[in-house]
Amino acid sequence: MPTSQNPYNDPSMMETETDKSFSQSTLQQTSQAFKRLNTNDVAIAQREREINDIAQGIIELADIFKDLQGMVIDQGTILDRIDYNVENMATNVKEADKELNVATNYQRKYTKRKILFLLVLLVIGMFILLLVKPKRSSAPASPPVADPPPPATEPPSQEQDPGGQRSDPINTLNHARPVPEVSTDHLDIVAPNEIPPRILSFK
C-alpha cells in the first residue's frame, strides 16, 4: 500500500526563507507607513489649528482696521470742523475788533459830551449867581435903630415958674436936650403900632 503523504509536508506549500524575509519587511513597511500616517495626521491637525488661528487673527486684524477706518473718518470730520471753527473764529475776531473800535469812539464821544454838559451847567450856574447878586446888593440895608439915651436916675426937682405953675420935667428935658434930626432917606417906613414905646415917649 502506498503510504499517505502529509500535505503540510509538501515542499511546495512550505515557505522559503526568502518569502519569510519579504513578508516581514512588508509588515514592517506597512507598520511604518501607518505610523507615518498617524504622525502626518497629527501634524496636519496641528497645522490646521494654526491656520485657523492665523485666519482668526486676520479676521480680528480686519476688524481693527475697520474700526481704525471709522476713527480716521470721525477724526477727519472733527478736523474739518476744527478748521471751520478756526476760520469762523478769525472772522469773529475781526468783527469784534471793529465793534471794539466803535465802542471806543462812542466812549470818547460820551466823555466829551459829558464834559460839555458840565461846562454848560457851570456857565448857567455862574449866570444865575450874577443875576441874583446885584438884586441883593441893590436892596437897602436897614440901619439899626439907635436906642434913646437912658433917663436920669434922679428925678428932677419940681420948680415953680414965676407965674406959680409947676414946670414939667419932660418939657424941661426936651428943651435942655434938643432931639437930633434923623435922616429917613435910608430908613424903612414903620407903622405907628410897630414903634417902640421908648421912641413914642419922646415925641
Write out pLDDT tens, residues 37-66: 777 778 888 889 999 999 999 999 999 999
pLDDT at 113 (0 to 100): 92
- Partner residues linked to 160 by β-bridges: 166
Place of cell 478748521: 83
Task: Name which residue leads in pLDDT, 26 or 139.
Answer: 26
Largest CA distance in the chain: 253
Taking 50 as the threshold, does the pLDDT of residue 25 lie above it? yes
Burial class (CB in 10 A: 0-12, 13-18, 19+), 164: exposed
Q: Among residues 143, 142, 148, 144, which one has the least CA distance to residue 199? A: 148
User: Which helix or strand (DSSP H or E) is residue 25 part of?
Assistant: helix 17-138
Q: Tell me: the pLDDT tens digits for 148-195?
A: 665 555 554 444 444 444 555 555 555 545 555 555 554 455 555 555
- Would you say 139 and 190 are in contact if contact means Cβ atoms under 8 Å apart? no
Burial class (CB in 10 A: 0-12, 13-18, 19+), 173: middle
- Across the chain, mean pLDDT equals 72
Q: Which pTM value belongs to this model? A: 0.30
User: Which helix or strand (DSSP H or E) is residue 16 part of?
Assistant: none
Q: Tally Cβ neighbours within 10 Å of residue 199.
A: 13
Burial class (CB in 10 A: 0-12, 13-18, 19+), 111: exposed
Report the C-alpha gap between 105 and 88 in whole angstroms.
Answer: 26
- Partner residues linked to 162 by β-bridges: none
Task: Name which residue leads in pLDDT, 92 or 193.
Answer: 92
Place of cell 500500500: 1
- Would you say 142 and 188 are in contact if contact means Cβ atoms under 8 Å apart? yes
